[in-house]
Amino acid sequence: MKCYCLFCRAGAEEKFVKSLSFLLKREYASFDDLSVIFPVRIVQEKRQGKWRPKVQPVLPGYVFLYLDDDDPFPSFQARQCEGYFRVLKYPDGHIELKGTDLQYAEWIRSNKGTLQPSRISLDLGNRITVISGPMKDMQGKVVKLDRHKKRVIVAFEFAGEVRHVNLSVEIVSKGGSGP
Protein backbone atom coordinates (compact mmCIF):
# COMPACT_ATOMS: atom_id res chain seq x y z
CA MET A 1 0.00 0.00 0.00
CA LYS A 2 1.28 3.46 -0.96
CA CYS A 3 0.06 6.67 0.62
CA TYR A 4 0.18 10.29 -0.52
CA CYS A 5 -0.80 13.54 1.16
CA LEU A 6 -2.64 16.01 -1.05
CA PHE A 7 -3.04 19.68 -0.26
CA CYS A 8 -6.33 21.28 -1.24
CA ARG A 9 -8.33 24.35 -0.35
CA ALA A 10 -9.30 24.37 3.34
CA GLY A 11 -13.05 24.07 3.71
CA ALA A 12 -13.43 22.22 0.40
CA GLU A 13 -11.91 18.91 1.52
CA GLU A 14 -15.13 16.88 1.48
CA LYS A 15 -16.02 18.08 -2.02
CA PHE A 16 -12.46 17.34 -3.17
CA VAL A 17 -12.61 13.80 -1.71
CA LYS A 18 -15.94 13.06 -3.45
CA SER A 19 -14.69 14.42 -6.78
CA LEU A 20 -11.37 12.55 -6.67
CA SER A 21 -13.06 9.32 -5.53
CA PHE A 22 -15.51 9.56 -8.43
CA LEU A 23 -12.70 10.07 -10.99
CA LEU A 24 -10.58 7.27 -9.52
CA LYS A 25 -13.50 4.85 -9.44
CA ARG A 26 -13.85 5.24 -13.22
CA GLU A 27 -10.10 4.89 -13.79
CA TYR A 28 -9.07 2.02 -11.51
CA ALA A 29 -10.64 -1.40 -11.76
CA SER A 30 -9.42 -2.28 -8.25
CA PHE A 31 -11.12 0.68 -6.57
CA ASP A 32 -11.63 -1.42 -3.42
CA ASP A 33 -7.87 -1.26 -2.77
CA LEU A 34 -7.74 2.52 -2.75
CA SER A 35 -9.24 5.19 -0.55
CA VAL A 36 -9.29 8.94 -0.24
CA ILE A 37 -9.63 10.18 3.33
CA PHE A 38 -10.15 13.62 4.82
CA PRO A 39 -9.34 13.06 8.52
CA VAL A 40 -11.85 14.51 10.98
CA ARG A 41 -12.25 14.36 14.73
CA ILE A 42 -15.38 14.23 16.84
CA VAL A 43 -15.12 16.66 19.74
CA GLN A 44 -17.56 17.21 22.53
CA GLU A 45 -18.72 20.81 22.92
CA LYS A 46 -20.90 22.14 25.66
CA ARG A 47 -23.81 24.20 24.30
CA GLN A 48 -26.65 25.41 26.49
CA GLY A 49 -25.47 23.15 29.31
CA LYS A 50 -25.42 19.95 27.22
CA TRP A 51 -22.49 18.06 25.70
CA ARG A 52 -22.90 17.58 21.95
CA PRO A 53 -20.62 16.01 19.32
CA LYS A 54 -19.12 18.27 16.66
CA VAL A 55 -17.10 17.24 13.59
CA GLN A 56 -13.86 19.18 12.97
CA PRO A 57 -10.95 18.66 10.58
CA VAL A 58 -7.77 17.18 12.01
CA LEU A 59 -5.51 18.77 9.37
CA PRO A 60 -7.45 21.44 7.46
CA GLY A 61 -6.58 21.34 3.75
CA TYR A 62 -4.92 17.91 3.84
CA VAL A 63 -6.30 14.71 2.31
CA PHE A 64 -4.71 11.26 2.28
CA LEU A 65 -4.77 9.03 -0.79
CA TYR A 66 -4.09 5.31 -0.33
CA LEU A 67 -3.28 3.23 -3.41
CA ASP A 68 -2.26 -0.32 -4.17
CA ASP A 69 1.52 -0.71 -4.64
CA ASP A 70 1.09 -1.27 -8.39
CA ASP A 71 -1.01 1.86 -9.02
CA PRO A 72 0.73 5.06 -10.16
CA PHE A 73 -0.06 8.40 -8.53
CA PRO A 74 -3.13 9.83 -10.36
CA SER A 75 -1.81 13.34 -10.97
CA PHE A 76 -4.12 13.97 -13.94
CA GLN A 77 -7.25 13.08 -11.96
CA ALA A 78 -6.16 15.11 -8.92
CA ARG A 79 -5.52 18.21 -11.05
CA GLN A 80 -9.06 17.95 -12.45
CA CYS A 81 -10.60 18.31 -8.99
CA GLU A 82 -11.67 21.75 -7.82
CA GLY A 83 -9.60 23.03 -4.91
CA TYR A 84 -6.52 20.86 -5.57
CA PHE A 85 -3.21 22.64 -4.99
CA ARG A 86 -0.48 19.99 -5.02
CA VAL A 87 0.81 16.70 -3.68
CA LEU A 88 3.19 17.17 -0.77
CA LYS A 89 6.82 16.33 -1.54
CA TYR A 90 9.84 15.56 0.57
CA PRO A 91 12.99 17.66 -0.03
CA ASP A 92 14.43 14.73 -2.03
CA GLY A 93 11.45 14.90 -4.43
CA HIS A 94 9.64 11.75 -3.27
CA ILE A 95 5.88 12.06 -2.96
CA GLU A 96 5.04 8.74 -1.25
CA LEU A 97 4.73 9.12 2.50
CA LYS A 98 7.39 7.34 4.52
CA GLY A 99 8.55 6.89 8.11
CA THR A 100 6.49 8.58 10.81
CA ASP A 101 4.35 10.34 8.19
CA LEU A 102 3.31 6.97 6.76
CA GLN A 103 2.68 5.59 10.26
CA TYR A 104 0.43 8.56 11.02
CA ALA A 105 -1.46 8.15 7.72
CA GLU A 106 -1.94 4.43 8.42
CA TRP A 107 -3.21 5.29 11.92
CA ILE A 108 -5.74 7.67 10.33
CA ARG A 109 -6.81 4.91 7.92
CA SER A 110 -7.10 2.32 10.69
CA ASN A 111 -9.59 4.69 12.34
CA LYS A 112 -11.45 5.09 9.02
CA GLY A 113 -10.57 8.80 8.93
CA THR A 114 -12.72 9.66 11.95
CA LEU A 115 -11.12 10.12 15.34
CA GLN A 116 -13.78 9.40 17.93
CA PRO A 117 -13.29 10.51 21.57
CA SER A 118 -10.96 8.20 23.47
CA ARG A 119 -11.78 6.89 26.92
CA ILE A 120 -9.10 7.65 29.49
CA SER A 121 -8.47 7.07 33.16
CA LEU A 122 -6.65 9.59 35.35
CA ASP A 123 -4.33 8.20 37.99
CA LEU A 124 -2.40 9.83 40.82
CA GLY A 125 -0.33 12.74 39.52
CA ASN A 126 -2.59 13.09 36.44
CA ARG A 127 -1.01 10.14 34.66
CA ILE A 128 -3.29 9.28 31.76
CA THR A 129 -4.15 5.72 30.80
CA VAL A 130 -5.97 5.34 27.49
CA ILE A 131 -8.59 2.63 27.84
CA SER A 132 -10.06 2.69 24.33
CA GLY A 133 -10.35 4.83 21.22
CA PRO A 134 -7.94 6.10 18.59
CA MET A 135 -5.35 7.39 21.07
CA LYS A 136 -4.76 3.85 22.34
CA ASP A 137 -2.67 3.18 19.21
CA MET A 138 -1.17 6.66 18.94
CA GLN A 139 2.56 7.28 19.06
CA GLY A 140 2.16 10.96 20.00
CA LYS A 141 2.76 12.59 23.36
CA VAL A 142 0.01 14.05 25.54
CA VAL A 143 1.02 17.68 26.09
CA LYS A 144 -1.98 19.02 28.00
CA LEU A 145 -5.19 17.80 29.59
CA ASP A 146 -8.20 20.13 29.79
CA ARG A 147 -10.67 18.44 32.15
CA HIS A 148 -13.25 21.22 31.80
CA LYS A 149 -13.53 20.82 28.01
CA LYS A 150 -12.83 17.07 28.10
CA ARG A 151 -9.91 17.37 25.68
CA VAL A 152 -6.23 16.55 25.42
CA ILE A 153 -3.60 18.16 23.26
CA VAL A 154 -1.38 15.55 21.63
CA ALA A 155 1.92 16.33 19.87
CA PHE A 156 2.91 14.18 16.91
CA GLU A 157 5.34 14.48 14.02
CA PHE A 158 3.92 14.90 10.52
CA ALA A 159 5.69 16.12 7.37
CA GLY A 160 8.84 16.81 9.38
CA GLU A 161 7.11 19.10 11.88
CA VAL A 162 5.69 18.59 15.35
CA ARG A 163 1.98 19.33 15.24
CA HIS A 164 -0.48 19.63 18.09
CA VAL A 165 -3.94 18.10 17.75
CA ASN A 166 -6.78 18.76 20.15
CA LEU A 167 -8.78 15.54 20.69
CA SER A 168 -11.86 14.80 22.76
CA VAL A 169 -11.66 12.36 25.63
CA GLU A 170 -14.11 10.78 28.00
CA ILE A 171 -12.69 10.64 31.51
CA VAL A 172 -14.06 7.46 33.04
CA SER A 173 -12.31 7.43 36.42
CA LYS A 174 -10.18 9.63 38.60
CA GLY A 175 -7.67 8.41 41.09
CA GLY A 176 -7.07 10.12 44.43
CA SER A 177 -5.00 13.28 44.60
CA GLY A 178 -2.64 12.08 47.30
CA PRO A 179 -2.58 11.95 51.15
All structural domains of the chain with their residue ranges: 2-174
Answer yes or no: are the C-beta atoms of 151 and 169 closer than 8 Å. Answer: yes
pLDDT one digit per residue (tens) for the chain, 179 residues = 899 999 999 999 999 999 998 888 877 656 566 889 999 988 888 888 888 888 989 889 999 999 887 778 888 888 999 999 999 999 999 999 999 899 889 989 988 999 888 777 765 555 566 777 776 755 567 778 787 787 877 777 766 777 787 777 776 665 544 44
Q: What is the pTM of this model?
A: 0.75
Which CATH code for domain 2-174? 3.30.70.940
Cα distances (angstroms) measured from residue 78 to each of 8, 14, 86, 98, 119? 10, 14, 8, 21, 37
